[in-house]
Chains A and B, each alone.
Chain A
């Protein structure tokens, strides 16, 4: 039995084997890991999935299998993505595995977020766990969904026409997305515009909206209930909350006057947004060449696509109206966007 560093066992079976070979090889932290692993093994009826998973989802075009040692986080994740469960499990799913371990010296509990067999994050605060699961998932979408040209953007659809809001982090695109969703626009994503290079259609990835603390009042104003709503820590972005699209509008994912849920749609409007509080919102047309350059800057996988990526963006821009939006108060901004889109 090879010696291992204190507390570091890849599985419960390895820990038990170490015990059988002599407890001198097992530190206090190692004992604690064994006890944690035993506690995580729930007695279930045959066929039942334990509360830690694995659970399988298809969120738009993104297949996911997730196992999480924190039962509370797993429960929250399942609630956020109720309606996206996949059965049978997708064969090409991104595998997210959240493991609970203890630090060797301090004995302190921590979580490790693994994605497709690679450890991505170590998380000490369980309030930061859900945002890190989202980060790991986004990271692997960039890596493992390369067939789509990916732009950092909010994505909505109205009347069969796709509208994308490319923007840097903190530009207010998720809040704007929530505001338009409340008005009955169909929600495709608040993070990724996934463009099929062959058809140039937008593919949906309707993840739970991630809203920062500065927009919590906006959410309350849209009628989102705050009763028992979790708030989480997302690194230097501070406190965030996750919102199911259906909490904002019952037809968030489609089928009322627009395209059916999960349908792809063409991009007809490209609106670059930038938020400043207290500003009166305004919207100006920009040239398609300018839009292509700026879309390229917000692309996650331009290195992979290179010249073909510019060709894709050029073809998209030729079929779309392009604007710069200086956004302010949510109602005024949504009014402005809705008028501009309806006019074209």
Chain B
């Protein structure tokens, strides 16, 4: 089951994944397990936005501007996508000290 990330989670792309860009989609290769994963266009945009500096809300805002969707819709889509990506091992959580 994919658990949606909490709002204070700062997702970051795994640096050891090899990314093959094909048109506006991508295939990610995990050398540790010899597995592959495909990201469609929207998922690829979200994955690229996961730089460890922005939380779910920040990512959703950028997505909302890019695709002209409501902020609430964008937040829901981002949470769903990030939940799947965490389950597939494509991201790591970067916790920031709030103080």
Contact = CB atoms under 8 A, between A and B. Distances in A.
Contacts of B29: 306-307, 310
Given A292-B27, A293-B27, A310 B36 contact: yes
B26 interface: yes
Contacts of B20: 289, 292, 310-311, 314
B31 A289 contact: no
Chain B contact residues (Cβ within 8 angstroms of A): what range? Answer: 10 to 19
A289 B39 contact: yes
A310 B34 CA distance: 10
B25 interface: yes
Interface in B22-49: 22-23, 25-27, 29, 31, 34, 36-40
Interface string A296-311: 1000001100110011
Given A292-B27, A314-B27, A306 B34 contact: yes
B53 interface: no
B9 to A, nearest CB: 27
B98 to A, nearest CB: 38
A289 B18 contact: no
A18 interface: no
B25 A289 contact: yes
Contacts of B25: 287-290
Given A293-B27, A293-B38, A307 B22 contact: no
A307 B18 CA distance: 8
A321 to B, nearest CB: 12
Interface in A290-344: 290, 292-293, 296, 302-303, 306-307, 310-311, 314, 317-318
Interface string A268-289: 0000000000000000000111
B18 A292 contact: no
Contacts of B18: 307, 310
B36 A296 contact: yes
A306 B31 contact: yes
Contacts of A307: 18, 29, 31
B27 A289 contact: yes
Given A314-B20, A317-B22, A318-B22, A290 B38 contact: yes
A220 to B, nearest CB: 41
A314 B29 CA distance: 12
Contacts of A318: 22
Nearest to A290: B38
Nearest to A310: B29
A22 to B, nearest CB: 58
Contacts of B39: 289
A311 B31 CA distance: 13
Interface string A30-58: 00000000000000000000000000000
Contacts of A290: 25, 38
B31 A292 contact: no
Residue in B22, B29, B39 whose Cβ sees the most chain A Cβ within 10 Å = B22
Interface of A: 287-290, 292-293, 296, 302-303, 306-307, 310-311, 314, 317-318
6 contacts: A288-B22, A289-B22, A289-B23, A289-B38, A296-B36, A307-B31
Given A287-B22, A307-B18, A314-B20, 8 more contacts: A289-B25, A289-B39, A290-B25, A290-B38, A293-B38, A306-B34, A310-B20, A317-B22
Closest 8 CB pairs of A and B: A289-B25, A288-B22, A314-B20, A289-B22, A293-B38, A310-B29, A289-B38, A292-B27
